[in-house]
Structure 1
């Protein structure tokens, strides 16, 4: 029997140097993910006093917020493009776009240029999120856990990282180029990763299959709708109640879309929706409440809680990835429940003049998100993970819309500075309550859908096929069985079964000799002696 030649899989080529690729990927994740997520917050209002008098401040603030809608649309489309373009190439392209916006942001002087810069930055950030996820998916397990932990940390600290470069600045354009040096470092690492990827034999990166690509294209539809609604609410001056209703409908739509597909893909989608809607909008409001002007410790007093929460999130994600394999069904809800506890602690400890106390809610939110995302994606494919990422990024904008609606309702009618502060804090507490109930509802929905999927599975009895697999193709029997002609039949008989195969009897090798003695008939020739017995012994007996 001809044996096909063994071909070494591409991802195993030059395995001795794969550690180099893994090291570069780890550095890229640590540097580029926060850089991508920091594009989300709209911080132009913080430096509004520095805007030239001839510019439309309201228009600039609206266009500055275009980065998140562009990112939402770029994630699913980049996931589909991975079928044609390698992830290493798209990663370099994404970081090159971010670097281009850093350079162009220094020359922005009109609403049009600001809008183009922010859209390009959002597209580049979406490419970075998607390609890094694809690149780490089938590498060493710690890399996928690192991606989840750093992604959760980025969502937690995005608002603070966007505000940090604006302290005592003299130009409003800093909001368009917050970390140019870090962008250069990330682009250099991406270039080194591309060279290493090519020298190591171009290891294959997992890509979504045909069905998953269809779902990703469907996920781009609600992203476009939510983006249009957000731009309209910012442009037309909507009231609080319509904004809250539309945001609630958007959350419902995301959950309906997350409920599609097979049972194994629903939990990652539900989890990503919960994390996207709750984590960044909650952390952003807490960060703004804790600014020095409102009596909080300011950004300098928040870096210790952020560092503690980030380290714990990465450690928790790595531990879940390395120590557990099939516990997503119960560990993911536990992580989401930790986020609920974190939201409850926000209501208890915020506002606080002591920044160290904020390590409690920050750690619960970041660790809960990391555990939930890692556990939910343990057995998921890369297409399922990218589908969840698409829904989660859209959920971030939905969460901002919902939180903005709550703030508008609370701030309506305030007349003094103290009332403004009290209403702002009250809006945060209401948002924490709403977010907590939303996460609990998602936990219940995931449990109900999992039970329905399990109870609805009906065992199917195997139906004998009238045609063997690979009919007409010669197959080899297992090593421990022997095919012999059935008694009373001859291999030269013209009568054949339905498939043209002569009936044979499958006999274990251990009983071959005894069967041959019993089945031997006149005209069949001498019987084959049992194992361990010579032909002469058989004749003597």
Structure 2
């Protein structure tokens, strides 16, 4: 009998040269992805600020400024609604195509911004901006999850720096412009660079053949998770749009406070992976509520017209803070997994210190006084995000991200309600400046209290969970001892769900005599072809 020759595997056939080539492609993929995150993530966050009021004097006479401001503010609600859907899609498909699609949509909206001539077109383009940005942020998170842990730290550091500088970056191109349409396409060259990097990343990704899909196919639990993540997003997006129709400041503050409390409740009861999933959910929520709204208010107060150093005087502080945040995230990533809970809590404490510095040191006439508050905010946010995302699973990270943009929107609503309430009675320029400063100081106090509450809530839930686990373990040991030598389920392995088949049991019927028989071990049910391969049997 002739035996066919054994075909060599790909690894054997390629040899050392093929291995070197594979490692080289993998290294290039990491480098390109890191550069793409550094360029594309700020572009996505840059879609959030609503800067049309700065160039309102350049609008055509027949265009309502209020309607244009409302249309220009549609990007953030669109991001809020997009991220849960993108997170669900990324549990089934690879990240690279969605990343490229989101960036292409963002670039299309930028290019079409030069042809906008009405509030309707502006609203549509801003919605496209929000959808593209939501896809981009979600896909970059999953893309770095497919690679090394270092890239997760880079993602966290870049996100923190982007939140800190987004308002200033959105205002920078508007200095001495002659067209309001610049607000729709602030950085076209940077968008082109990001597209080139995305194309290169897609080519390298296809050559490497690597990548993972977080989660599994369509199941009843996944549909329930989508509903859990999407409903709060729909509610807070509707709240944001409704608040533009002459709501009183008190009503806006009340609605924003209730929405943030609802997000905290969802983070507590709906987190993926239980206790391990609450840390990224709480951290994303706290960072989203305070960082960008605080930085936006500080940026406006420090403009030259209000006595501050202006944008040119702010950039040294922004640069130092961004670099410090990125380095802090990379250094925190070098610690062991056991230190991550302490790292997360410590990062949030540093954020509270940054908010205290904002209240005590700002406003400042010189840009150097801004270094300490900005560095504390950037370092604290990046370290907290790194510590929370490091031990989390991919599903928990996506769930936390689905709470992030609703938290940003809730923070903006709460901050704007406080600000409008302070400015409502201002009748002189000095009273207007005092109102802005008072609103910033009050917001720093509220934001700091919220972060402290998140830290305390997270610690309390961890303590309760540890106590419940200890009680369950003790009860299991006691029950095992009471069975007089019979092995307990906790010792034999995880209990399998089993349902008896209808009808009579096979085998001989027991006779009238009383006999002693060994315990019957019921075999687990055989997997059905309709079962989900990733999550086990799918129950209705």
Q: Same fold (TM over 0.5)?
A: yes
Does the C-alpha gap of structure 1 residues 213 and 466 become closer, same or farther in structure 2, counting only changes over 3 Å? closer
Does the C-alpha gap of structure 1 residues 81 and 500 become closer, same or farther in structure 2, counting only changes over 3 Å? closer
Matched, 1:434 2:446: yes
Shift of 1:409: 1.2
Shift of 1:205: 4.4
Does the C-alpha gap of structure 1 residues 342 and 216 become closer, same or farther in structure 2, counting only changes over 3 Å? farther
Shift of 1:47: 0.3
Matched, 1:405 2:414: no
1:317 counterpart (329, 341, 351): 329
Q: Contact 2:91–2:214 at 8 Å: present in 1 too?
A: no
Shift of 1:449: 0.6
Matched, 1:237 2:246: yes
Does the C-alpha gap of structure 1 residues 333 and 6 become closer, same or farther in structure 2, counting only changes over 3 Å? farther
Gaps of 5+ in 2: 1-7, 12-18, 481-486, 495-516, 524-540
Q: Equivalences for 1:275-294 in 2 at 5 Å?
A: 275-294=287-306
Look up the match of 2:162. 154
- Cα-to-partner distance string for 1:187-239 (whole Å, 9 max, x where unaligned): 111111111111112433434776567434412211111111111111x2111
- Cα-to-partner distance string for 1:475-521 (whole Å, 9 max, x where unaligned): xxxxxxxxxxxxxxxxxxxx9995799xxxxxxxxxxxxxxxxxxxx
Shift of 1:31: 0.4
- Cα-to-partner distance string for 1:252-302 (whole Å, 9 max, x where unaligned): 000000002311111111111100000000000000000000000001001
Look up the match of 1:51. 59
Look up the match of 1:515. none
Q: Secondary structure at the match of 1:32?
A: helix
* CA distance in 2: counterparts of 1:385 and 1:38, whole angstroms: 22
Matched, 1:132 2:140: yes
Q: Contact 1:466–1:498 at 8 Å: present in 2 too?
A: no
Q: Contact 1:212–1:383 at 8 Å: present in 2 too?
A: no
Gaps of 5+ in 1: 471-494, 502-541
Q: Equivalences for 1:418-433 in 2 at 5 Å?
A: 418-433=430-445
TM-score by length of 2: 0.83
Shift of 1:244: 0.7
Look up the match of 1:390. 402
2:192 counterpart (164, 184, 194): 184
1:71 counterpart (54, 79, 101): 79
Over alpha carbons, which structure has the higher Rg?
A: 1
Shift of 1:327: 1.6
Of 457-466 and 364-373, more deviation after overlay is shown by 457-466
Of 195-204 and 50-59, more deviation after overlay is shown by 195-204
Shift of 1:79: 1.1
TM-score by length of 1: 0.83
Matched, 1:222 2:215: no
1:339 counterpart (321, 342, 351): 351
* CA distance in 1: counterparts of 2:353 and 2:361, whole angstroms: 12
Q: Equivalences for 1:402-481 in 2 at 5 Å?
A: 402-457=414-469, 458-459=472-473, 460-461=476-477, 463-464=487-488
Does the C-alpha gap of structure 1 residues 453 and 7 become closer, same or farther in structure 2, counting only changes over 3 Å? farther
1:122 counterpart (125, 130, 133): 130
RMSD (Å), alpha carbons = 2.5
Q: Contact 1:164–1:299 at 8 Å: present in 2 too?
A: yes
Does the C-alpha gap of structure 1 residues 435 and 467 become closer, same or farther in structure 2, counting only changes over 3 Å? closer
Look up the match of 1:81. 89
Shift of 1:99: 0.6
Look up the match of 1:252. 261
Look up the match of 1:90. 98
Q: Contact 2:293–2:415 at 8 Å: present in 1 too?
A: yes
* CA distance in 1: counterparts of 2:493 and 2:330, whole angstroms: 43
Does the C-alpha gap of structure 1 residues 357 and 496 become closer, same or farther in structure 2, counting only changes over 3 Å? closer
Q: Contact 1:77–1:217 at 8 Å: present in 2 too?
A: no
Q: Secondary structure at the match of 1:330?
A: helix
Shift of 1:396: 0.4
